[in-house]
Chains A and B, each alone.
Chain A
Amino acid sequence: MRNHRRRGLTALATIASLASVSVLAAACGSDGDDSENDGKVSITVEGWRPGDEQGTIDAVNKLAEEFMKANPDIVVEPVEWEWSAETFSTQLAGDTLPTTFRVPFTDTKGLAERQQIADVTEYVNELPYADEFNPSVLAAATGTDGKIYGLPTDVYGVGLHYNRHLFEEAGLDPDSPPTTWDEVREDADAIAEATGQAGYVQMSANNTGGWMLTTLTYTLGGRLQSEDGTTATVDNPATAEGLQMLHDMRWEDDSMGKNTNFEWGTINEAFAAGKVGMYMSGSDVYNALVTTNQVDPDSYGLAVLPLSDSPDAGVLGGGSVAAVSAKASDEEQAAAVLWNDFYREKKNYDPAAAEADAKVLAESDQPIGTPTLPIFDEPTWQGVQDAIAPYVNVPQDQMSSFREGIFDQNLIPEPSSHTQELYAILDAVVQKVLTDENADIAALLADAQGQAQALLDS
């Protein structure tokens, strides 16, 4: 069942307000900053995704109430929100973002540089665990000026998500997912052959094509940018090898289906509908598959990505930073950081908080136990895992390949400079390879290399 909200009243109220122009002033003059009443601070916070089921919404609201009980001076209103390359900058300009929201690691520096998110260093430093962050994770929330622009709240490594039912139908063992790209290719072919569904699908649109091509490149030991973000290395053998593999799967094996235009949300929907054998996405995507797409838990499997023999091969790691609107007042900024600590961060650090959180989630049947990566050190992470163990309700044995393998893999951050723009350039490359049998990969990469370098030089 999907969510069922009653907002018809808003519409009726608007019809009524048409009559009086004075309402215009009220509606536009002070939208959302009634923060003055009785010294309370009001903030809106990222609550749930569009399309989430009612249970998810209830759980967030319940936690908000708990938070307000503990902080009587703060009023928290969770709202529907999801970061999307499509709408983010409109909301940014329109000042219609919640007070606090999560942005990908890739965007923190750019947003900070353009003064679009607030410097919250002082509030973050007040938190008990401020100096215990994994340095490479905290770096993702730090601007080029060295100040902190939010709390890094979740870290993922990319994994290979696969449909166990399709594996069985194709005569493959769902408990031994592929461990090399050659096996991925063979299994994809077998699935397409036996079931008529796409054996392997890769995202290609809205910057996710670039994101996943970067991931594929990393697994083959390549990089798309120098570590300091000044030199583009798009035209490298690993990327070419990855693209060639995609080309062969799409055109020689015909194991990727005929529809190739997918992004994060649509590929999840297709996977949950049983139309995708395997795809790459963040390790935490299972949560969305459950709350938004109602995936059948029995069909789900998660494995680590195959890595090549190259010593540089690794898996792409990323995450989100809970940032605060640059337009928020000091009190609102402080309140927002407190909320993020309560709702998102403390449970990554404090086993008791993690257990309390899991309890609330369990009551509304929200997924608990989806693989994440440490934001602090590994013992802290392990402590939290142990605390929530009794509440785990996701099929963890079907994720064992990932859970056991990920700590042996080299975690590589995303390109640091102009990341989303680089991804947009790579989208076109991936799309070309997937839609044109005669695509000239070498020429495509040479061209993309020029564009990417121009981007960094600008």
Chain B
Amino acid sequence: MSARRSAAESRGITSEYERGRPLFKVGRTLLNGLVLLFLVLVCLGPILWLAKSAITPTQDTLRHPLELWPNGVDWANLRTAWVDIDLKLYFWNTVVIAFGSWAVQMLVAVTGGYALSILRPRYGRVLYGLVLATMFVPAVVLLVPLYLTVLDMPFTHWNLVNTYWGAFLPAGASAFNIALVKRFFDNLPREVIQAARVDGCGDFRLFWYVVLPMSRPVLGVVSVFAVLAAWKDFIWPLVVLPDPAKQPLSVRLPRLAGVTELDVMMAALLISCALPIAFFLVFQRLFLRGGLDGAVKG
């Protein structure tokens, strides 16, 4: 399992001895420095440029895209974007969609994983097989039939188009989440569960008081990826939420791009990626380490 070695423990490709040789040392420092420079320029650069342009008047950005504020800073862009092109509305829509998708995904993954891993009904293997089988069908291919289903739900004939339920519920059908949670539950110490059973714990109490408290790591991983995925999603909300007043940022921004002045648009783009970046910085450990087992072995 994930024997995560600390930096001191892992020796890396180069040896202590090699790193001690002066010429080698210079070369290695240079290489590492170059890579760092590359990462800063390529990965961070565009975002810094965006931050700069968000507070630069349009004409400066157009005429001198690489200069720093030749004619001063224009902070008003951020306000104009937030208030006048109504970014706050789309921002909140995105928050609602991310929150709802997260809640649905958690509910489905945790209860499903629990039933399949701990309760183990006889038909469990077949069911798990059916869930995993959906991984073979690329989500985008389902776009049209899924849309027509949401348009006129079986039995109830509800039309979920233009409702947030249409955005939340399909997000729950993630085989990846179920597999991740089930595997985690499979590896929980059986003795603890047995002991709880002996103490007379029913299925619900076992779930609530024993299994859930032990699952914080996997819940964290599922959560951060669920929220980020919902924030990034484009094609499904594009199709299921045609009403502009309900659309998230991802869907709305391309529409606004045609009718909004450049500086305000840049401010809007900056605002739209501010939250995911902050979220990433706060939970970076989960993104950079926690997701790995899942990503590698999912």
Residues of B close to A265: CB separation below 8 A: 258-259
CB distance from B264 to the nearest CB of A (A): 8
Q: Is A87 an interface residue (CB 8 A)?
A: yes
Is A235 part of the contact surface with B, judged by Cβ < 8 Å?
no
Inter-subunit contact A28/B163 (CB<8 Å):
yes
Q: Which of B93-101, B200-208, B221-229 contacts A (4 or more CB under 8 A)?
A: B93-101
- In the complex, the answer to whether A90 meets B92 with C-beta atoms within 8 Å is no
Q: Residue-by-residue, is A76-104 near B (CB-CB < 8 Å gives 1, otherwise 0)?
A: 00001000000100110111100000000
List residues of chain A with CB within 8 A of the CB of B159.
Answer: 28, 31, 94-95
- Decide: A94 near B162, CB < 8 A? Known: A2-B84, A15-B99, A50-B244: yes
A29 at the interface (CB under 8 A from B): yes
Count class of interface residues, chain B: 35 or more
Q: Could you tell me if B245 and A10 are in contact, using CB atoms closer than 8 angstroms?
A: yes
Q: Is the CB of B164 within 8 A of A14?
A: yes
Q: A14 contacts which chain B residues (CB < 8 A)?
A: 96, 164
A7, A95, A96: the one within 8 Å of B86 (CB): A7
Q: State how many angstroms separate the Cβ of B171 from the closest Cβ of chain A.
A: 14
B229-258 contact mask (Cβ, 8 Å, vs A): 1 or 0:
000000000011011111000000001101
A11 and B86 CA atoms in complex are apart in Å by 13
Q: For window 62-100 of chain B, which residues contact chain A by CB distance below 8 Å?
A: 80, 83-86, 88-89, 92-93, 95-96, 99-100
Assess whether A15 is in contact with B96, with CB atoms less than 8 Å apart: yes
**A282-325 interface bits toward B, Cβ cutoff 8 Å, 1 = contact, 0 = none:** 00000000001100000000000000000000000000000000
Of all chain A residues, the one with the shortest Cβ separation from B246 is: A10
Interface of B (DSSP majority class)? helix
**Known contacts A4-B84, A50-B255, A266-B258; is-contact A96 B242 (Cβ 8 Å):** yes
Q: Give every chain B residue within 8 A of A31 (Cβ-Cβ).
A: 159, 162-163
**What's the Cα separation between A50 and B100 when bound, in Å?**
27
Chain B residue at smallest Cβ distance from A27: B163
- What separation, in Å, do the CA atoms of A5 and B90 have in the docked complex? 12
**Residue B175, interface by CB 8 Å:** no
B246 partner residues in chain A, CB cutoff 8 A: 10
Name, among B163, B246, B258, the residue most crowded by chain A CB atoms within 10 Å (CB to CB): B258
Name which residue of chain B comes closest to A264, CB basis.
B258
B162–A4 touching, CB < 8 Å: no
Cross-chain contact A95 with B151 (CB below 8 angstroms): yes
Contact A292 B259 (CB under 8 A): yes
Q: Flag if B259 contacts A4 (CB, 8 Å).
A: no
Question: Which chain A residues lie closer than 8 Å to B99 at the CB level?
Answer: 15, 18
- Chain A interface size range: 35 or more
Docked CA distance A95–B159 (Å): 9
Kindly identify which residue among A5, A28, A50 contacts B259, using a CB–CB cutoff of 8 Å.
A50
Query: With an 8 A cutoff between CB atoms, is A3 at the interface?
Result: yes
Q: For A88, give the chain B residue with the smallest CB separation.
A: B242
Contact of B260 (CB < 8 Å), options: A4, A28, A51, A95? A51
Q: Is A8 an interface residue (CB 8 A)?
A: yes
Chain A proximity of B248: nearest CB distance (Å): 10
Is the Cβ of A95 less than 8 Å from the Cβ of B161?
Answer: yes
Cβ–Cβ contact A28 & B86, under 8 A: no
Min C-beta distance of A73 to chain B, whole Å? 26
Which residue on A lies nearest to B84, using beta carbons?
A2
Q: Are A51 and B165 in contact (CB under 8 A)?
A: no
User: Per a CB cutoff under 8 Å, which of B165, B255, B261 touches A27?
Assistant: B165
A263: chain B residues within 8 A (beta carbon): 258
B274 to chain A, nearest CB (A): 18
Min Cβ gap A295→B in Å is: 12
- CB-defined contacts of A2 to chain B, threshold 8 Å: 80, 84-85, 260
Instruction: State how many angstroms separate the Cβ of A47 from the closest Cβ of chain B.
Output: 12
Complex contacts, A96 vs chain B, CB 8 Å: 161-162, 242-243
Distance in angstroms from A52 CB to nearest chain B CB is 9
Q: How far is the CA of A63 from the CA of B159 in the complex (A)?
A: 31
Residue of A nearest to B257 (CB): A266
Cβ distance A270 to chain B, nearest Cβ, rounded Å? 10
- The docked-state distance in angstroms from the alpha carbon of A11 to that of B239 is 19
Known A-B contacts A24-B165, A95-B161; the reply to A3 vs B84 at CB < 8 A is yes
Asked whether B92 lies within 8 Å of A8 as measured between CB atoms, the reply is yes
Residues A160-202 near B (CB distance < 8 A): none
User: How long is the Cα–Cα vector from A4 to B88 in the complex, in angstroms?
Assistant: 11
B92 nearest CB neighbor, chain A only: A11
C-alpha gap A31/B158 in the complex (Å): 9
- What are 21 A-B contacts defined by CB distance under 8 Å? A4-B83, A5-B86, A5-B89, A8-B88, A11-B95, A14-B164, A15-B99, A18-B103, A24-B158, A28-B160, A31-B159, A31-B163, A50-B244, A50-B259, A80-B245, A87-B242, A94-B240, A96-B162, A266-B258, A273-B261, A293-B259
**Interface positions of A (Cβ within 8 A of B):** 1-5, 7-8, 10-12, 14-15, 18, 24-25, 27-29, 31, 50-51, 80, 87, 90-91, 93-96, 263, 265-266, 269, 273, 292-293
Residues of B within 8 A of A (CB): 80, 83-86, 88-89, 92-93, 95-96, 99-100, 103, 147-148, 151, 153, 156, 158-165, 239-240, 242-246, 255-256, 258-261
